[in-house]
Amino acid sequence: MPSTPSDTRADNPPDTLGRGAPGVRISGLSVVYRTPAGELPAVRGIDLELPPGTITGVVGESGSGKSTLALSLLNAVQPPGRISAGSVEIDGLGDVVTLRGEELRRARGRHVGYVFQAAQNSLNPLKPVGKQLLDLGRSHGVADLRGLVREARDLLGRMGLDGARVLDSRQHELSGGMRQRVGIMFALVLNAHLVVLDEPTTALDMITQATILRIIREVHEERGLTTLVITHDLGVVAEVADRLAVMYGGRVVEQGPTRQVLGEPLHPYTRGLIQAIPRLVGDIGEARALPGRPPTLATIPAAGCVFRERCPLRTDVCVTQEPPEVAHGARLVACHAVEGGTGEDRAGAGNHGGQDGAGEPEGRAVTAGAREEQV
C-alpha cells in the first residue's frame, strides 16, 4: 500500500492523545435472554473491577456467561438478550450501559477494542485486509487514512508480520495465527486503550498460541492498555493475566491475583477445574474430571449456589441461599463451605469489599421467576 509522509495525528481529537489505561468497574451486572420459558439470566450480579493497566482473565466453561460478560463491555448484547441490571463504568467514557446509538458506535473501536471469538474467521473473505481497514477508518470518521494505514502497518510489523503484504492479502491467504494478529491490529488501530480478547488462541497451535500470548503481553505493556482476556483455558490465563475471575453458571465464583487463585484455589469449582486439567507432569491418577456437567441457560438453578449439583462440599444451605462473595485476603470467593472471610479483609481486598452487598439483591430480582430444577 503506497503512502507518503503526512501529519499522522490530524484525525485524532486532542483528548484521546496521551490518555492512559482506563479502569473499569462492573457492578451488579445482570444479562437475561428471552426464551420460551421466560427471561433467563446468562450473567447474574457480577461485580468485577479491571484496575487500569492490568490484564484480567475471565475463565469459564461453555455456558458460564463469560462471552456475554465481555459483550457487555461494549453494550453489545444482542436480542433476545439484554442487560437487565447493573452498570459498566469505563474511565473517560462513563457507564456504557446507558450509551445509545451514535455515542455507543463511536465508543466501540475508539475506546474499547474487541477481538472476537474465532477472529480467524471474522474478516470479510472478499476484501483485502487493507480495504477493510479503510472501511473501518471511514466509518469512524478518520480524516487521515494514510496515517491509519501507517499505524496498521507498524502494528502488524510489531507483531512480526510484513504489514504491507498482510494489508494486500485476503483472509484465505493468511494462516490462523496471522488472522489472529490482524484481529488484534483492528482492535488497536483506532487507539483504544481498553481491549477485550474473546478466546484469543482457541484453534491455534501451541507454538502459535505462545507467540500470540507473548504479543498480547508486550503490546499491552507498550501501549499502556487495560486488557480483558476471556477463555476456557486456564493455561492461557496463567500465562498472561495478572488477575483472574472464575465464572460458573453466570456467576463469578472466585476472583483474585492469578498466582494465588491457581496456587491455592479456594472455591470447590476452581479446585475441581484445576484438578481436571491434563498435565505434562505428575501422577496421571491425581487428575480427575468433575462429575456432572456445566449448567445451560435452562438448567442454572434459580436459587442457591449455581455449582451445588457438582459440589463435593454441598450442604443444605447451598440449596436455599446464594453464597455472597466474601473477601479472603486479596481474593473474593462465593462459597458457603469456604472458611474465613471478611475478618481477613486486607490491602488488595479493600477495593472490592465495598461492593459485596451491591450486586446481590439485583441478582435475586432477576431470578425471581420460578424455575423447575433439573440436572
Partner 1 sequence: MITGQGVTKTFRQRGGVLGAREVRALRGVDFTVGRGGAVSFIGESGCGKTTLGRIIAGLEGHDSGEITIDGVAMSSLRPRARRPYFRRIQLIHQDPYSALNPTRTVYQALLAPLALRAGQTGRTASWVDERAGELLGLVGLDPDYVLPRYPHQLSGGMRQRVVIARALTVDPEMLVADEAVSMIDVSLRLGILALLRDLRERLGVSVLFITHDVATARYIGDDGELYVIYRGQVVERGPVETIISAPVHPYTQALLSAIPVLHGLERPGEQPVAPTGTLEEDKPDAGCLFARRCPFATARCAAEVPALGRTGDIPQEHACFHPEARSVVAVPADRA
Applying CB under 8 A, which residues contact partner 1? 61-62, 160, 175-178, 205-211, 213, 232-236, 238-239, 258-264, 272-274, 276-282, 284, 287-290, 293-294, 296
Taking the complex as a whole, how short is the minimal distance between the CB of residue 287 and partner 1, in angstroms?
6
Q: What are phi and psi of 10, to 5 degrees?
A: -55, -30
Distance from C-alpha of 43 to C-alpha of 250, rounded to nearest angstrom: 4
If the CB atoms of residues 239 and 360 are measured against partner 1, the closer one turns out to be 239
C-alpha cell at 282: 505428575
Taking the complex as a whole, how short is the minimal distance between the CB of residue 32 and partner 1, in angstroms?
22
- Pair type for strands 194-198 and 226-231: parallel
If the CB atoms of residues 43 and 161 are measured against partner 1, the closer one turns out to be 161
Q: Produce one character per residue of 126-140: b if its CB has 16 or more CB atoms within 10 Å, e if not.
A: eebbbebbbebbeeb
Taking the complex as a whole, how short is the minimal distance between the CB of residue 181 and partner 1, in angstroms?
11
Distance from C-alpha of 46 to C-alpha of 29, rounded to nearest angstrom: 5
Distance from C-alpha of 247 to C-alpha of 67, rounded to nearest angstrom: 11
If the CB atoms of residues 139 and 175 are measured against partner 1, the closer one turns out to be 175
If the CB atoms of residues 24 and 245 are measured against partner 1, the closer one turns out to be 245
Taking the complex as a whole, how short is the minimal distance between the CB of residue 292 and partner 1, in angstroms?
9
If the CB atoms of residues 24 and 129 are measured against partner 1, the closer one turns out to be 129
- Sheet containing 38-50: order of strands: 38-50, 24-35, 81-90, 94-95
Taking the complex as a whole, how short is the minimal distance between the CB of residue 338 and partner 1, in angstroms?
18
Count H helices and E strands in the chain, helices first: 13, 12
